[in-house]
Amino acid sequence: MHTNSSLIKPEFTLDIIQLLPDHVANQIAAGEVIQRPASAVKEMLENALDAGGSEIKLFVKDAGKTLLKVVDNGCGMSETDVRMCFERHATSKIKSADDLFEIQTMGFRGEAMASIAAIAHVEVNTKLTSNELGTHIIIEGSEIKTHEDCATANGTSIKVKNLFYNVPARRNFLKSDKVEMRHLTEVFTRVSLANPNVKMQLFHNNNEIFHLPISNFRQRIVNIIGGKKNENLVPVEEETTVVKIDGFVGKPEAAKRTRGEQYFFVNGRFIKSNYLNHAVSKAFEELIPHNYFPSYFINLDIDPKLIDINIHPTKTEIKFEDEQAIYAIIRACVKRSLGAYNIAPTLDFSQELSFDLGYKQDKQTTIKEPTIKIDSSYNPFENKRENQPKQTEVKAEEKWETPSFEKDFVPEVENTDLQQIGNHFIAVPNENGLLLVHQRRAHKRILFEYFTKVLNSNKGQSQQLLFPKGIELNKSEIGIITDMTNELNKVGFNFEVKENHISINGIPPECQEENLQFVIEDLIEQHKNSEDLLTEQQNTLAVSLATSLAINEVKKLSSEEMIGLKNELLKCETPSVCPSGKRTMINIKTADLEKYF
């Protein structure tokens, strides 16, 4: 080992390596295990599950910064165990190194509670079912302040107050309550989906956010994601010598712009795996549009000896012994289910397995045979009728108009020699050579500056819809839209937030009604980890709207559209780059062209 020679005086040798005090070691470990309130919630909920609790309640105040409280009706702890659980590497889950390869519990390292106690005020009430009295303990910064008997219910109640009170740098690093609560809710969702056999409740600032009774897996998905989700769930099931698979995937038509509804569970533990996610995506290939994401809720039951969970502090990443085989099985299983769901549609779990006529029918009423209306005067060989639409008409969804910053703006008609290259670039000849414009990036720059001005001036226009447009969202997505309400209103969106959807009454003139679902989902995806500062949120929204509403990478444009796009781009304050910093145009000089000849 090399040491810093500057720390050692030349006259004598000084021993400088020493063991860290326990409270310092615990704070260092806490930096890896507990990154935010959601991290503490994950560890506490998993401990409650390992204790065998059938009812778990989570109470949160100020997104966990002030209070996190988990109450379970599990086995509880003895007077000795309640002290030992806060010691580093003290665990009841494993006893030897061989046990690491047969992990059946959620926790096993013995680091979580010690890490939490090092950076918060912790209060525990716990009681074994067989005992009359329980134990009450208070710990502050790894130091036990109180340890006494108490009267309490069976199970365990753990309060974590003032998280990171003694690590101000980490506390300042936390985001706004809205963002932290979003992370916390996602952790609760993951644990709840993996354990439908446990009743779970979430309260935030005394308001009940989730009330999830014991149910089957399908019912738990619907209770969390939303009632209309049920009709879009396709069951997947497969059993091999390598892995047993069961769960659900969403129908292709239910694919969304957001990645939120994608969950893998291995032996009841939520995991992240880009590799396995790719297997599901490949099964949906050619069934959903580009940049859309399928939803899936898939359980993998696999021999613990064939996986390694102990590779990441949060245990959300695991290693498979035969990852390629599992990839192939998942892809084939999902593909087969998608091919069969039209033949065997899924039934609502709340309905009886009986034939459903689709409408109310009196017992005495006889069912009439349906008749087919035929136009006997129709002759396919006759000339087209006058009232038929002409083929030259352009569909509404194919139109695109550049936003006008000035109402009296007139395109420069004299520049009629513009050419589109590959429906991707616009070539503009000039005196010095050739100007190449990237059409999508140029449109993004135009829209970004437009929406930036609107947000700063609060003068956004709203185009009222003839009929309100409803867009179904889950609770997490509803929360994101609610956070952005003020900014969305400024740019022209007028909507009402319901329990599981939003009802849109007005939209900005630059937005088309038929693209509304795409735009809203795209905004949600881009704002999932947005900051809470107003200026940053407005900037993020302007970027998101520009990205969502900009024309496609490859799109045929008319001469008028190309001229308008070029002229509007040159009016921008920063026309040379799009909001993400990529070039919108390149000027190729005539001298440079000569090099190719």
Domains in the chain, please, with CATH?
22-212 (3.30.565.10), 217-340 (3.30.230.10), 419-587 (3.30.1370.100)
pLDDT above 80: residue 380:
no
State residue 597's pLDDT score: 81
Handedness of CA 117, 188, 481, 396 (dihedral sign): positive
pLDDT digits (tens, 9 = 90+) for 444-489: 899 888 888 888 877 778 888 888 888 888 878 888 888 888 888 8
Question: How much is the pLDDT for 102?
Answer: 61
Residue 154 has pLDDT above 50, yes or no: yes
Query: Two tokens at 296?
Result: 């899936």
Give the alpha-carbon dihedral of 333, 339, 340, 341, to 10 degrees: 100
Contact 248, 296 (CB under 8 A): yes
Of 553, 569, 573, the closest CA to residue 452 belongs to 573
With 60 as the cut, is the pLDDT of residue 11 above it?
A: no
Residue type, 320: F
Res 159: pLDDT: 94
Find the mean pLDDT for residues 372-383. 52
pLDDT reported for residue 243: 92
How much is the pLDDT for 67? 94
pLDDT greater at residue 291 or residue 566: 566
For residue 440, pLDDT beyond 60:
yes
Angle in degrees, 0-180, between the axes of helices 439-457 and 534-549, rounded to the nearest 10: 140
Percent of the chain clearing pLDDT 70 (strictly above):
77
Distance in Å from the first CA to the final CA of the chain: 63
CB 327 within 8 A of CB 280: no
pLDDT (tens digit per residue) in 499-552: 778 898 988 888 888 778 888 888 887 776 554 444 456 777 788 888 888 888
d(CA 309, CA 106): 10
Percent of the chain with pLDDT over 90: 26
Alpha-carbon gap, residue 100 to 468, rounded angstroms: 56
The Cα–Cα gap between 431 and 591 comes to 12
> Of the ranges 30-39, 140-149, 255-264, 360-369, which one carries the lowest mean pLDDT score?
360-369
Asked if 220 contacts 212 with a C-beta cutoff of 8 angstroms, the reply is yes
Give the Cα-Cα-Cα angle 13, 14, 19 (nearest 5 degrees): 145
Of the candidates 189, 207, 211, 191, the one whose C-alpha atom is nearest the C-alpha of residue 199 is 211
pLDDT exceeds cutoff 60 at 356: no
Q: What is the mean pLDDT of residues 407-430?
A: 68
Confidence band (pLDDT; 50, 70, 90) for 374? low
Which is more confident, 137 or 400?
137
Question: What 3-state class would DSSP assign to 423?
Answer: coil
Task: Band the pLDDT of 231: cuts 50, 70, 90.
Answer: confident
Dihedral sign for Cα 371, 376, 381, 382, please: negative
Over 60: is that where the pLDDT of 386 sits?
Answer: no
**Averaged pLDDT for residues 264-272:** 91
The sheet with strand 199-204 has its strands ordered as 143-150, 134-140, 121-127, 155-161, 67-72, 55-61, 199-204, 207-212
Question: What's the average model confidence in pLDDT over 237-258?
Answer: 90
Task: Identify the H or E element spanning 565.
Answer: helix 559-571
Output the six-digit token pair for 251.
Answer: 């129908």
pLDDT at site 388:
44
- Quote the mean pLDDT of the chain: 79
The per-residue pLDDT for range 567-582, each reduced to its tens digit, is 888 888 888 888 888 8
Could you read off the pLDDT of 155-198 as tens digits, one per residue?
A: 999 999 999 888 888 888 888 888 899 899 999 999 999 999 99
